[in-house]
Amino acid sequence: MSIQGRKEADFSIYDQMETSLLEERLRQLVDSAEEKESDLDAVLYITEVLARRDRENVTEEHMDVQASWASFQEHYLPLADREGSIYDFDEDPELDKREAPLSFLHANVERFHRSLRGVTAAVVVVVCMLAASATASAFGFDIWTVIVNWTSETFDFSVADVRGSYGEDVPEQLCELKQAIIENGFAAEHILPTYLPKGYGEGTVEVRSDEHSTDIICMLPGESGNIILQYRVGEEDPSHSTFEKDLTDPDMYKVDGMTHYIMTNMDQYEAAWLTNGVECAIYGVETKDEIIKMIDSLYGG
Amino acid sequence: MKLNERERKAIELLYVEMHDQLFRCARLMLNSNSLAEEAVQEAFRIACGKPESLLSSENPHGWMMLTLLNTAKNMRRSVQKLNDLVLYVGEYWEPADGAEIELDLALQYDGVVSKEDFHLLYLVAVEGYSILEAAQQVGLSMEACKKRIQRAKKKLRDKIKGTL
């Protein structure tokens, strides 16, 4: 036997024991193996005997080890940095909160449920924040402070005032969206992409307003999923959206001096950016290349 | 944290050496080949997250076996909890017939849980799929699959506390 600590124990009694009895003995030992080293040694011995018998008899229990190792490297090894078990389905109380280098204030949070059915993109959580001091000149505001936060599982920033014009030559699928944006006074540049990935139909637009904010949501149906474009402008108590995301940090993608945050959520790409007080988001895009093209197209690229 | 070449090689050797006996033990505890395989791979995933602890152990075989035992027990416990939850809301769904589960509109369209998320939860909680199997069936990564199940569990649990 190969492990230390077993020199004094003689488990040879198990060598000739019937398989069913070995299994029964193993069931008895698995609970006590953590406390008693001798029981752990016995578990190791018995399982080695059983495994050897499986190999000799080529039973259905025998798995190809090389195939198993290949599968491990492909599916499980990339998750080696993840804390906890993949079977831990309870909520994670640990949040890894990071703040971008802009000034900060927090306000109240309220939950916002997506109203569109059958959409596969992330649930948007609306957070209300009040901004106070200035670093807003980059965004064209008077007195706004933008907070960009991300945790291990969410990303959010606040919304400010609206100025500007919006893009021309938008794809046909976005005509109704453009109309909704005009009618609701979301006058800002760089919010409508002129590029869309292939295979998406005409957008369905919904407008939701309350005393806090106005949201315009456009869903583009596709064969393998839907792309959503969402825009929000806050009223007197501006609100902002929080997006679910995977554990990796967002990428910051700059075009024309404007920062766009690209992240993944459940294998799909999302982007969020703030321009002249309009909080913009795209989600449900299949590849990073495509979402970058959409972002580039906001600036004529 | 990435494994260096020495660590990777050492763990690979241990994997090849111990896979069958770990699998055998897990199979006994979980009554399923796919779950047993997932338990073994999960145990080694944990090991790869702390290679120094494993490789500097006086008893690396014992270390791996204990990790496997804990992993298998945790899996058993977690799946049982999911199973209890799904059965608790049993009046709101019909068992799968072919590929489709009949999910009551009260759950689906009240925004409690999507049909897709419930399907994943059902596969793992009731059908005995491993997370890898469930993920592969619907074309998701394991992480995405786990998150969806987690989300479905939370929403169903909240619903139970609230109004069911």
Q: What number is the ipTM of this complex?
A: 0.89
The whole-number average pLDDT for the span A105-126 is 33
Percent of chain B with pLDDT over 90: 58
List the CATH number of the domain containing B43.
1.10.1740
Whether B130 maps to a domain, the answer reads yes
Of B20, B42, B109, the CB nearest to A86: B42
Instruction: Kindly state whether residues B64 and B101 are assigned to the same domain.
Output: no
Which residues in chain B have Cβ-Cβ distances shorter than 8 Å to A27?
28
Instruction: Kindly state whether residues B123 and B95 are assigned to the same domain.
Output: yes
Paired strand residues for A126: A241
Of A48, A66, A79, the CB nearest to B21: A48
Which residues in chain B have Cβ-Cβ distances shorter than 8 Å to A83?
49
Question: Within an 8 Å CB–CB cutoff, is residue B19 touching chain A?
Answer: yes
Cβ–Cβ pairs < 8 A, chains A and B = 151
Within 196-235 of A, beta carbons closer than 8 Å to B belong to: none
Question: Within an 8 Å CB–CB cutoff, is residue B85 touching chain A?
Answer: no
Residue A15 DSSP code: T
Task: Return the closest-CA partner of residue B65 out of A30, A172, A178, A49.
Answer: A30
Whether B83 maps to a domain, the answer reads no
Taking CB atoms and an 8 Å limit, are B24 and A54 in contact across chains?
A: yes
Instruction: Kindly state whether residues B13 and B65 are assigned to the same domain.
Output: yes
3-class DSSP state of A230 = strand
Structure confidence at residue B12 (pLDDT): 96
Q: Is the pLDDT of residue A226 over 80?
A: yes
pLDDT in tens, A204-218: 888 887 766 788 889
Of B19, B25, B131, the CB nearest to A43: B25
Instruction: Kindly state whether residues B17 and B68 are assigned to the same domain.
Output: yes
Whether B127 maps to a domain, the answer reads yes
Within 95-154 of A, beta carbons closer than 8 Å to B belong to: 113, 117, 120
Q: Is A220:A226 a contact under the CB 8 Å cutoff?
A: yes
Question: Within an 8 Å CB–CB cutoff, is residue B21 touching chain A?
Answer: yes
Of the candidates B18, B43, B75, which is a domain's last residue? B75
Whether B144 maps to a domain, the answer reads yes
Which residues in chain A have Cβ-Cβ distances shorter than 8 Å to B75?
85, 87
Domain count, chain B: 2
Of the candidates B75, B110, B134, which is a domain's last residue? B75
Query: Residue B144 belongs to what domain range?
Result: 89-162
Structure confidence at residue A163 (pLDDT): 30
pLDDT in tens, A138-188: 333 333 334 444 545 555 554 333 333 344 567 888 888 888 887 787 766
Domain ranges of chain A: 12-79, 98-297
Q: How confident is the model at residue B53 (pLDDT cuts 50, 70, 90)?
A: very high
